[in-house]
Amino acid sequence: MRTMIKKGLLAVTLMIGFNPLYAGTGHSHAPVEASTTIIKTVAKEEINRLAKSGKIDNSWLNKDINKIEKYNQGQEWRVIFNNDKIEDAAKQTLYIFVDNAGKLTGSNYTGK
């Protein structure tokens, strides 16, 4: 009986002791940052979605990006579109926000 207990404890000790060997290297737990190409694609898709759903004027469809910049202390991207066909000057600039992973976080006319 004692021998079986000793063997069991030895087996458990060995499994725990060698476990770090299986962790491996070459991977990171840091989030992967999306490329600016992905950020731009997400922003353009959102503009087109908003226009097709009637939330913004159709003149926004397929608008080119005016500017793309890091925002919110580098936590997300602010993609800026301009549309001089909009009569209301306060709504001629539309901001789309995309996080570093490439996920849409919001949109507005204020840029904040």
Q: In this structure, what token pair is assigned to residue 84? A: 């001089």
Give the 3-state secondary structure percentages of the chain, helix then strand then coil, rounded to 5: 40, 20, 40
Q: What is the pLDDT of residue 13?
A: 55
Q: What is the pLDDT of residue 33?
A: 83
Contact 60, 83 (CB under 8 A): yes
pTM: 0.70
pLDDT per residue as tens digits for the range 52-109: 999 999 999 988 999 999 988 888 999 999 999 999 999 999 999 999 999 999 999 9
pLDDT per residue as tens digits for the range 15-56: 555 555 555 555 556 667 888 899 999 999 999 999 999 999
